[in-house]
Amino acid sequence: MAQPPPHSGSQPSQDRTPTARLEMSGISVAFGGVAALTDVSLTVEPGQVHGLIGPNGAGKTTLFNVACGLVRPSGGRITWRDQELRRLKPSQLSGLGISRTLQGVGLFAGMTVLENVMVGAHRHGRAGFLSALLALPTSDKDERQLRERAQKALVELGAEDYAGRYPGSLPYPVQKRVALARALVSDPDLLLLDEPASGLAEDEMHELGELIRSLSSRMSVLLVEHHMDLVMRVCDRITVLDSGEQIAAGTPAEVQADPKVTEAYLGDEVVETDAAELTRTDGGRNA
């Protein structure tokens, strides 16, 4: 693949205007001959919160995994900062300035909350947390800076009181906040979120929405999510998939008004509640 362009992570996040664009064009994926995605295109513009929705089995996670380098497409191009990424691997993401959270939380059970978040910051340390894991010598300064970054991220997520706790002892919504802190601590230019609201109560979901909106001043966000109210409230643009194909794309209002979208949801019994939400919510945008 092309050499990753240098990432601007050394700048303070508050002063950074997002400039990086992710373009996925003509993406196709087949699993054992079964088409999971057919010729799907999606661009996340700098500073945009881009929602990816669709009924069960539509191909959302597959496309998300293509963006993460977890699934290799059989066709199409991925371009990041105007350079094509060939053979993208998950291990390259942080160097490219891309962070992700996956479904579930994926925290390390044997590490404290603070240590878990420090893992996400490792590329900001010269020797870094990886060295610490391998018990290699690292400078006190590096270690201190990583710790400070991680603490700051926990404060942003309102999880600083749990820094010394182990993830298994914490309620699920707190674990999700810690996972998000871990993704944010590296100051990414693009944040990939796979169902961040699953398992959250209404008020927690509202807070998550506020946070996602506030992130767009310093990064772009690709959001895969089933909760329509959240998607409609926080996204600038939405791409809708159904049976591996893109059936609509536009602003929340445009997507909601598109009969193809409602039809796709209504045709899927399992997501009846999503369809009901889709038709009743105005996402708070027209309030």
SS3 category, 147 = helix
Specify which residues 245 forms β-bridges with: 242
E strands present in 104-211 = 190-194
Minimum distance from residue 270 beta carbon to ligand ATP (Å): 8
Query: Tokens 């927690």, residue?
Result: 204
| Consecutive H or E run containing 228 | helix 228-234
* Position among 20, 27, 36, 261 found at the interface with ligand ATP (CB under 6 A): 36
Cβ(200)–Cβ(171) under 8 Å?
no
> How many residues bind ligand ATP, per CB under 6 A?
10
* Position among 4, 46, 57, 250 found at the interface with ligand ATP (CB under 6 A): 57
Looking at residue 62, its amino acid is T
Cβ(199)–Cβ(27) under 8 Å?
no
* Position among 56, 139, 217, 273 found at the interface with ligand ATP (CB under 6 A): 56
Q: Which is nearer to ligand ATP, 88 or 159 (CB)?
A: 88
Minimum distance from residue 45 beta carbon to ligand ATP (Å): 23
Minimum distance from residue 56 beta carbon to ligand ATP (Å): 4
Specify which residues 62 forms β-bridges with: none
Specify which residues 193 forms β-bridges with: 101, 223
Q: Which is nearer to ligand ATP, 36 or 248 (CB)?
A: 36
SS3 category, 38 = strand
Looking at residue 64, its amino acid is F
Verify binding: residue 218, ligand ATP, rule CB under 6 A.
Answer: no
- C-alpha 40 chain-centroid distance: 18
Q: Which is nearer to ligand ATP, 115 or 274 (CB)?
A: 274
Minimum distance from residue 216 beta carbon to ligand ATP (Å): 23
Question: Which residue, 165, 135, 129, is CA-closest to 149?
Answer: 129
Q: Which is nearer to ligand ATP, 9 or 57 (CB)?
A: 57
Q: Which is nearer to ligand ATP, 243 or 251 (CB)?
A: 243
Q: In angstroms, what is the C-alpha Rg of the chain?
A: 19
- The pair of structure tokens assigned to 268 is 């899927």
Q: Which is nearer to ligand ATP, 112 or 243 (CB)?
A: 243
Q: Which stretch binds ligand ATP (CB under 6 A): 2-10, 53-61, 181-189, 246-254?
A: 53-61
Q: Which stretch binds ligand ATP (CB under 6 A): 54-62, 141-149, 180-188, 212-220?
A: 54-62
Verify binding: residue 24, ligand ATP, rule CB under 6 A.
Answer: no
Residues 61 to 100 in contact with ligand ATP, rule: CB under 6 A: 61-62
Q: Which is nearer to ligand ATP, 29 or 154 (CB)?
A: 29
83 Ramachandran zone, left/alpha/beta (phi>0; psi -120 to 50): beta
Query: Which residues make up the interface to ligand ATP (CB under 6 A)?
Result: 31, 36, 54, 56-62
